């Protein structure tokens, strides 16, 4: 039991000021820690990603689909004349989409013109290509290891998975530093990042396999085949958006610093 040193009134537990005279008590107020959602990290990421998508689902989906279509068109055109562009263009669009997914995750307004945010000047283009190319080079080198190379390449792809978001949020870091920061921040979390992708693709595979099996049933099989076809179309147009938001959520969970978007106009 505590009493005010000025007026002698009884103090409530954890009170910072006396309720009678207002004198500071010198007792630090009890602050309840914010309770984090229970469950593994990837499950919390799913919930946060779904929550973000519910804010602007149509607009985010439209921009994501447009980004995929533009990537395909530019790669097709560039691949015929300058094959190197067929590699560079997807990197530029993927980092621009990373910036859009980060803004979508934070419920911020997004615009179609931001798909070209990584192409606004030569300095930005060089930085993005250097960052993505440096990571790709290391994944490629790991993949060359006999027998176990593909396994190491998958591990390293998750280890460098935060690089696009680091390029967006930390313009002061160069390509080498962006990769090193991604390695540091994903340490101990690569398994969670893998599970977040693996579970989604396994569920898709199992669902399609079941529908395909049901499609063999006489008379009603055609119905399940139509459902499967529609499902595959939905997956093709919606999956890149959902996984993009999931990966953006991982960046915020593992690095989580709020910083002004450097590529936004």
Whether the per-residue pLDDT at 20 is higher than 80: the answer is: no
236 Rama class: left (phi>0) / alpha (psi -120 to 50) / beta: alpha
> Average pLDDT in the 244-252 region?
92
Judge residue 245's burial from the number of C-beta atoms within 10 Å of its C-beta, 0-12 exposed, 13-18 middle, 19 or more buried: buried
List, as one string, the DSSP characters of 88-141: HHHHHHHHHHHHHHHHHHTT----GGGGGGGGSSHHHHHHHHHHHHHHHHHHHH
Specify the higher pLDDT residue, 161 or 49: 161
Looking at residue 85, its pLDDT comes to 77
Domain boundaries, the chain: 1-29, 189-253
> Average pLDDT in the 65-89 region?
78
Q: At what angle do helices 41-53 and 221-254 cross, to 10 degrees?
A: 110
| Residues of the chain above pLDDT 90, percent | 45
Write down the residue that tokens 């599970």 correspond to.
195
Span of 31-35, 73-77, 224-228 with lowest mean pLDDT: 31-35
Specify the higher pLDDT residue, 40 or 64: 64
Question: Rounded to the nearest 5°, which phi and psi values hold at 2?
Answer: -120, 150
Shortest CA distance to 114 belongs to which of 87, 88, 93?
A: 93
Whether the per-residue pLDDT at 16 is higher than 70: the answer is: no
Specify the higher pLDDT residue, 8 or 192: 192
Whether the per-residue pLDDT at 191 is higher than 80: the answer is: yes
Shortest CA distance to 190 belongs to which of 165, 162, 169, 150?
A: 162
Q: Residue 260's pLDDT band (boundaries 50, 70, 90)?
A: very low
Span of 22-36, 163-177, 189-203, 209-223 with lowest mean pLDDT: 22-36
Whether the per-residue pLDDT at 80 is higher than 80: the answer is: no
């Amino acid at each position: 039991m505590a009493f005010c040193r000025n007026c002698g009134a009884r103090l409530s537990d954890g009170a910072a000021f006396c309720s009678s005279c207002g004198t500071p008590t010198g007792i630090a107020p009890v602050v309840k820690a914010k309770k984090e959602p229970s469950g593994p990290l990837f499950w919390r990421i799913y919930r946060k990603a779904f929550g973000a998508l519910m804010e602007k689902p149509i607009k985010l989906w439209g921009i994501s689909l447009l980004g995929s279509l533009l990537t395909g068109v530019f790669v097709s055109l560039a691949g015929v004349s300058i094959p190197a562009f067929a590699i560079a263009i997807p990197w530029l669009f993927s980092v621009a989409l990373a910036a859009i997914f980060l803004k979508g995750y934070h419920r911020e307004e997004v615009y179609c013109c931001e798909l070209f945010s990584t192409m606004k000047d030569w300095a930005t283009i060089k930085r993005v290509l250097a960052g993505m190319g440096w990571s790709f080079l290391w994944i490629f080198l790991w993949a060359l290891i006999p027998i176990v190379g593909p396994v190491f390449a998958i591990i390293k792809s998750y280890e460098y998975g935060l690089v696009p978001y680091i390029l967006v949020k930390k313009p002061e870091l160069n390509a080498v530093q962006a990769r090193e920061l991604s390695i540091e921040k994903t340490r101990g979390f690569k398994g969670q990042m893998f599970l977040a992708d693996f579970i989604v693709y396994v569920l898709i595979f199992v669902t399609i396999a079941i529908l395909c099996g049901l499609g063999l049933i006489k008379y009603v099989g055609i119905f399940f085949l139509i459902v499967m076809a529609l499902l595959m179309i939905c997956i093709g147009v919606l999956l890149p958006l959902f996984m993009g938001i999931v990966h953006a959520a991982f960046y915020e969970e593992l690095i989580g610093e709020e910083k002004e978007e450097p590529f936004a106009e």
